[in-house]
């Protein structure tokens, strides 16, 4: 009888019972993980062999050793070694390669020990030094599986979590041939007390269940078209009724909690009704209403003041100087009421004006066009992005104004135009050393967005016209209107492809998955502009060479990369200078790899540029 009652209680919410998959052996399969077509969420598929669970990657399968539905994480066992070797079996599939279109990602809790590495890894960002944790692992481990690795002296240690590693752990013949991963490793412990090897993955919380008819939803939800997809996209979901919200962990519509009063939610309401019906005179009622209106007005005013202070605090936390909320009067005075002779530029989003504040600070004021919803969204998005960053190579926001009809942003003024102006306009020629400096500064700014900003930021519109130069030709990355925040444990942001023709990552254009590698591709085109002094798209070139990236890649395949270099840079150049020109060209082409997994991270690009600059500087010393 008790067992029957327990089953009835578990199935009190029929939608939950219908959606969660049956246990796999002794292992519970929590929602949204799916082992069959009639349970779980079909985007979260795993496999049950009858006794244990398997997680499928693009080309391999790994046993699941643990699942934590509370934190939405699971741990898979790394691939075993080939017999009597220091090579993991999944080397044939280049290691763990997650499908980036699915909601699973490598978490930042993993410490990866790469083993049997080639000398090329000594120049990588990995820690391959003699003090690396991997040596402690190799020397302290027991058992035959690790024995062969003691004869492979080069090993490296790596902590996952950057956006470039959140969907892969790569092993290959030309890199490292084996690996082990440990979750939440305490490096102070001896190897004998390390946890069992495992790679932790996280899944994104699921949306409401997909449905085809109301019968597939429970009594607290309605089957209707998904409003987050354009026109519904032909997809319907079980959306919760008013007064309920979707609980993705429990997989049901949970009732909203609106009252925290321990004495009961209805007590105040009943007291008010009793008071009003007790025959108190009209004057008393009027007085009560008057007090209510006054208090309501005061609450609204206090809320507005708090909001203004919060915005100012947020702005201040991201700027070198104290960012502030400007009044409409201040902005109009600074720009001479947006006089046309103060206009610096016009774009699809709106206009930028030159201005001078009362303290003499020279500023640039960006304002969205009235009635232009897209422009307004971009300016507001830029406020949200810029208040979280502070780097010398990123354009600095001084504040914003919310009093006028259109949102306004106030920036530091960078007076020397854009990189595009200097490369393609009538400005003086930029020297090779100056171009390298601009490239390095830009790469450092973008690397900061990808690896140091919390959460990471994808710029989404990297191009030469968005790189500003000050009076000393120092670079400032600008225009964050299309930028997106990313979750540190996710490999991509799904969004409609936007950007500029000639700079747009073809993989992003195909699958609408924005990653840090999309910025790397765009920056690769900027490097080609610096190398060639040519435009990203130029219809004056031959029909097949209109796109600069395609044009240079063809020359590289024909082993004629130097034919693309600006003749003014080659003229009188020494052999060492020619080598740095060629090195930048190959770095640019590596950023333009078709598959984003093959592109370097922006941090690696910045380090390579620093190395090229070191060579160029050594040339000058000689």
Closest CA to 211 of 227, 224, 197, 200: 224
CA distance 324 to 434: 34
CA distance 616 to 622: 10
Q: Is 366 annotated as a binding residue?
A: yes
Task: Tally Cβ neighbours within 10 Å of residue 273.
Answer: 11
Work out the burial of residue 374: count CB atoms within 10 Å of its CB; fewer than 13 is exposed, 13-18 middle, 19 or more buried: middle
C-beta separation of 493 from 514 below 8 A: yes
Q: What would the two tokens of residue 549 be?
A: 């990236």
Angular region, 210: left φ>0, alpha ψ -120 to 50, beta rest = beta
Q: What would the two tokens of residue 285 be?
A: 């009622």
Per the residue annotation, which of 461, 479, 489, 516 is the catalytic one?
Answer: 461
CA distance 592 to 505: 8
Q: Is the peptide bond before 32 cis (omega within 30 degrees of 0)?
A: yes
CA distance 585 to 353: 37
Q: What would the two tokens of residue 538 be?
A: 């130029």
Residue 461 annotated to the active site: yes
CA distance 260 to 218: 27
Task: Tally Cβ neighbours within 10 Å of residue 613.
Answer: 16
Strand, coil or helix: 510:
helix
C-beta separation of 577 from 431 below 8 A: no
Work out the burial of residue 129: count CB atoms within 10 Å of its CB; fewer than 13 is exposed, 13-18 middle, 19 or more buried: exposed
Q: Measured between alpha carbons, how far is residue 59 from residues 2, 73, 99, 201 in Å?
A: 46, 21, 10, 17
- Name the residues annotated as catalytic: 461
Q: Which residues make up each annotated binding site for ATP? A: 366
């Amino acid at each position: 009888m008790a067992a029957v009652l327990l089953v009835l209680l578990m199935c009190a919410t029929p939608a939950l019972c219908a959606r969660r998959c049956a246990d796999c052996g002794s292992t519970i399969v929590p929602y949204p993980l799916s082992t069959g077509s009639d349970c779980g969420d079909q985007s979260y598929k795993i496999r049950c062999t009858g006794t244990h669970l398997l997680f499928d990657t693009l080309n391999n399968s790994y046993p699941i050793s643990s699942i934590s539905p509370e934190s939405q994480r699971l741990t898979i066992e790394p691939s075993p070694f080939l017999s009597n070797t220091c090579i993991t079996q999944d080397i044939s599939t280049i290691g763990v390669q997650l499908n980036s279109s699915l909601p699973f990602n490598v978490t930042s809790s993993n410490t990866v020990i790469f083993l049997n590495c080639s000398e090329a890894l000594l120049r990588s960002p990995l820690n391959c030094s003699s003090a690396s944790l991997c040596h402690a692992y190799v020397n302290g481990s027991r058992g035959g599986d690790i024995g062969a690795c003691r004869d492979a002296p080069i090993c490296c240690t790596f902590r996952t979590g950057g956006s470039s590693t959140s969907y892969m752990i790569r092993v290959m013949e030309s890199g490292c041939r084996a690996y082990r991963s440990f979750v939440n490793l305490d490096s102070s412990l001896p190897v004998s007390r390390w946890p069992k090897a495992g790679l932790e993955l996280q899944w994104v919380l699921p949306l409401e269940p997909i449905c085809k008819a109301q019968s597939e939803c429970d009594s607290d939800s309605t089957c209707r078209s998904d409003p987050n997809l354009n026109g519904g996209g032909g997809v319907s979901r079980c959306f919760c009724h008013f007064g309920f919200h979707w609980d993705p962990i429990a997989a049901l519509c949970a009732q909203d909690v609106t009252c925290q009063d321990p004495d009961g939610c209805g007590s105040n309401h009943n007291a008010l009704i009793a008071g009003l019906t007790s025959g108190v005179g009209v004057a008393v009622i009027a007085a009560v209403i008057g007090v209510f209106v006054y208090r309501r007005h005061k609450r609204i005013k206090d809320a507005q003041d708090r909001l203004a202070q919060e915005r100012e605090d947020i702005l201040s936390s991201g700027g070198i100087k104290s960012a502030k909320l400007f009044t409409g009067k201040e902005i109009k005075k600074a720009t001479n009421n947006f006089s046309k002779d103060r206009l610096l530029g016009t774009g699809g989003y709106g206009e930028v004006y030159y201005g001078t504040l009362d303290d003499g600070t020279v500023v640039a004021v960006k304002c969205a066009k009235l009635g232009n919803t897209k422009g307004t969204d971009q300016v507001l998005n830029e406020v949200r992005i810029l208040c979280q960053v502070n780097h010398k190579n990123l354009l600095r926001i001084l504040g914003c104004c919310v009093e006028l009809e259109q949102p306004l942003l106030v920036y530091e003024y960078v007076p020397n135009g854009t990189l595009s102006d200097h490369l393609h306009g009538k400005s003086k020629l930029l020297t090779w050393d100056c171009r390298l400096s601009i490239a390095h500064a830009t790469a450092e700014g973008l690397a900061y967005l990808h690896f140091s900003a919390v959460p990471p930021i994808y710029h989404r519109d990297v191009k030469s016209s968005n790189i500003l130069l000050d009076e000393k030709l120092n670079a400032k990355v600008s225009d964050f209107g299309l930028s997106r925040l990313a979750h540190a444990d996710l490999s991509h942001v799904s969004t409609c492809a936007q950007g500029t023709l000639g700079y747009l990552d073809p993989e992003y254009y195909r699958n609408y998955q924005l990653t840090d590698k999309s910025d790397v591709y765009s920056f690769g085109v900027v490097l080609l502009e610096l190398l060639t002094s040519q435009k990203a798209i130029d219809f004056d070139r031959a029909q097949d060479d209109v796109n600069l990236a395609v044009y240079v890649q063809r020359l590289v395949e024909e082993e004629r990369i130097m034919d693309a270099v600006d003749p003014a840079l080659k003229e009188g150049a020494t052999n060492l200078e020619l080598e740095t020109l060629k090195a930048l060209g190959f770095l640019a082409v590596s950023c333009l790899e078709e598959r984003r997994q093959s592109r370097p991270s922006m941090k690696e690009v910045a380090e390579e540029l620093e190395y090229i600059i070191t060579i160029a500087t050594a040339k000058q010393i000689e």
